């Protein structure tokens, strides 16, 4: 029944990589807490680098350095 939300910058993650994240996060909940995988939901949000900030700056600016 867990809900996992993974938020990353939109920088080219492939469908295969996203499927791996979903599989890996589900397995983690099963392994550590014995959760039921059938009702474990994982949602990935890919966020534009203009909309993600760290250290007070956007990732767009950080990537230019």
Residues catalogued as catalytic: 2
4-33 positions binding its own copies, by CB under 8 A: 4-9, 13, 15, 17-29, 31-33
Nearest to 1 by CA among 42, 39, 56: 39
**Largest Cα–Cα separation, the chain:** 44
Residue 65 beta carbon to its own copies: minimum distance, rounded to whole angstroms: 14
Pick between residue 39 and residue 65 the one whose CB is nearest to its own copies.
Answer: 39
Please report whether residue 64 would count as binding its own copies according to CB under 8 A: no
């Amino acid at each position: 029944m867990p809900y996992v939300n993974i938020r990353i910058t939109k920088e080219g993650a492939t469908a295969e990589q996203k499927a791996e994240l979903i599989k890996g996060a589900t397995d983690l909940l099963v392994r550590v807490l014995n959760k039921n995988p059938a009702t474990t939901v994982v949602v990935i949000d890919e966020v534009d680098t203009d909309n993600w900030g760290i250290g007070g700056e956007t990732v767009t600016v950080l990537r230019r350095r």
